[in-house]
Structure formats: C-alpha cells, structure tokens
Amino acid sequence: MQKIGFVGLGQMGGAMSRNLVKAGHSLQVYDLDEAAVASVVEAGAAAAESPAAAAAGAEIVFTMLPIGAIVEQACFGPDGIAEGIAEGAVVVDMSTILPAETKRIGMRLAEQGVGMVDAPVGRTSAHAVAGTSTFMVGGKAADIERVRPLLMAMGEQVTVCGPLGAGATMKLVNNYISAVVNLATAEGLAMGEKAGLDLEIMAEVLSHTPAGRGHITTTWPEKALKDDPSPAFMLDLATKDLGLAVDLAANLKVPLATGAVSRQLYQVAQARGHGREDWTTGIYRTLKALGGV
C-alpha cells in the first residue's frame, strides 16, 4: 500500500485512479470537476483541496490532463503539486503532451529533488476501465522501476522508450501514424463505395493485406527495418499504382488528399534514385534523408 496523489479525473484519469484504489493504495485525488472527484471518493479515495494537497506526503503523484499548459499549471501554479510534494517523490505524467513540455516540467521538478516519468497511455477509455491500458514510458530507470508496479495496476504493458520525454515522443509517433492510417482507410473506402464496391467485401479483402493490417509487422521486418533495398515490391510500381488511384479518384470526383501528397513524396523517392528499391526501404531512406535523420 502506497500513498498516491492523482490529479485529473476525466474519462481516463477517473477510471485509472479507481484501479489504483482497487489495488489497495491510499489515494488523494484532485480535479476541478467536483462530480468527478465525488465518483472516485465513492470508490475509496480521499478528496484533496488542491494539487498541492493531493501531492502532500505522497510517494508518487499521477497527472492525467488534457494539454501541456494545464500540466504545467497543475505542477507550478498556485497550490500546485510542486508546493505540496516531498523531496524524493516522483511525478508521473500520463497526459499526451509535447516532449519539450515534459522535459521542461521534469527539469523544474528536478531542481527540488523530485523525479519525473512520462507515461502516456495507449488504447482507449474502455481499456482504462478494464485495467488493460498500455504505457509508453520515459525517464530514469530507477524512477521507472519505482512506478512500474502502479502502472501495472492500471494496465498490462509498460514499454520503456528512453529518457524523460521518450514516452511522449513515442505516443505522438504512434498517434500520428494512426491518424493518417485512419484517414487513408476512409479515403480509400469512400472511393471504393463511390465506384460501386461493397463495403463489407472491401473490409474482407483489406483484412488480409498490408493495406488493412499495417506494414510494420508485414512488409517492413525483412526490408525497411533491416535497411535491405532488394525489392519484394518495387517503389516504382507502388508509385505507378498510387498514380492510377489518384486518376481513378479524379474520374470519380472524390478527394484523396493524403494520396495526392503521398504521390509527391514517392516521386521524391524516385528522383533520389530509390525507384528500383523495395518500396518500404526506399521510402524510409527518403524520409530519413529529407529529415536529416
């Protein structure tokens, strides 16, 4: 049983703090929304008057808040966590914020001998309720090991991504790819529906291909992830097919916004001499070169 502070009891934080109570910990919780506080208090937590009060005497203080500015306010504003927290304690921010914000907060906490771990959450609120969240974690190894049992009380997987801010970076990489994939799926299926294809048939076909199952576990392991350019599918051919899709969309009068810009990037890859390479390795080499990686 540990004494824990918890600031931010929204859809995610409310569910997660309840799982800490269930695991037998002593929680001091704070939120601007009194109904949210009441609901966690009913589960067995103690209400705190401020972030400072939630942090008072706690070994670990969790924050789960909407944006970076609010995390900073909760830490360093009037009656903030920094005013109440003891030297040697650790703040664990589970919000999705910029890694630069995470690092700035961590540096200020370090000045008063307080550790920080960033642990943004994978999956959805349903998983938060079920205690099956995943965490992408950044921070010092010793701090991470201290908080790991608590994270495992709220979830089922903790992936250590690197130093402070690495969890936030990983979360943004993940959610970035996910948002584009979601949109590209919508674009492709809307085009198919307008052309007369059946949505269920399309979903069935895509459930067997990298288009539907993603590339990272299908086409990438033997190629881009090993920087192997030998083609399983040549970038020139992928570019040709993308051009045909953009032409088809023009005929059908449907928008393929990500495809139009993708075509430009594949052409950049061709112009840089990657046309006869595998399309995964060729495009990854191109992006790394363009980004100075």
Cβ atoms of 205 and 263 within 8 Å: the answer is: no
| Residue 144 sits in the site that holds its own copies (CB under 8 A) | no
Which of 157, 230, 272, 273 contacts its own copies by CB under 8 A?
Answer: 157
Given the residues 3, 171, 226, 240, select the one marked as catalytic.
171
| Residue type for position 161 | C
> Taking the complex as a whole, how short is the minimal distance between the CB of residue 139 and its own copies, in angstroms?
14
Q: Dig out the tokens for 236 from the structure.
A: 């020139």
- Can residue 1 be called a binding residue for its own copies (CB under 8 A)? no
Query: Contact 10/64 with Cβ under 8 angstroms?
Result: yes
Figure out which of the listed residues 70, 132, 245, 270 binds its own copies, where binding follows CB under 8 A.
245
Amino acid in the structure at residue 39: S
Interaction residues for its own copies, span 223-242 (CB under 8 A): 224-225, 232-233, 238-242
Among 62, 266, 275, 277, binds its own copies (CB under 8 A): 266
Concerning whether 171 is annotated as a catalytic residue, the answer is yes
Instruction: Please state at what angle helix 11-22 crosses helix 34-42, rounded to 10 degrees.
Output: 20
Neighbours of 39 (CB within 10 A): 17
166 sits near its own copies (criterion: CB under 8 A): yes
Give residue 234's Cα distance to chain centre. 31
- Which of residues 152, 184, 270, 276 is near its own copies by CB under 8 A? 184
Site for its own copies in 90-109 (CB under 8 A): 96-100
| Cα→Cα distances 147→7, 128, 289, Å | 16, 17, 38
**Single residue of 23, 43, 189, 229 touching its own copies by CB under 8 A:** 189
**Nearer Cβ to its own copies, position 32 or 179?**
179
Position 130 contacts its own copies (CB under 8 A): no
Phi–psi pair at 34, nearest 5 degrees: -65, -30
Catalytic residue set: 171
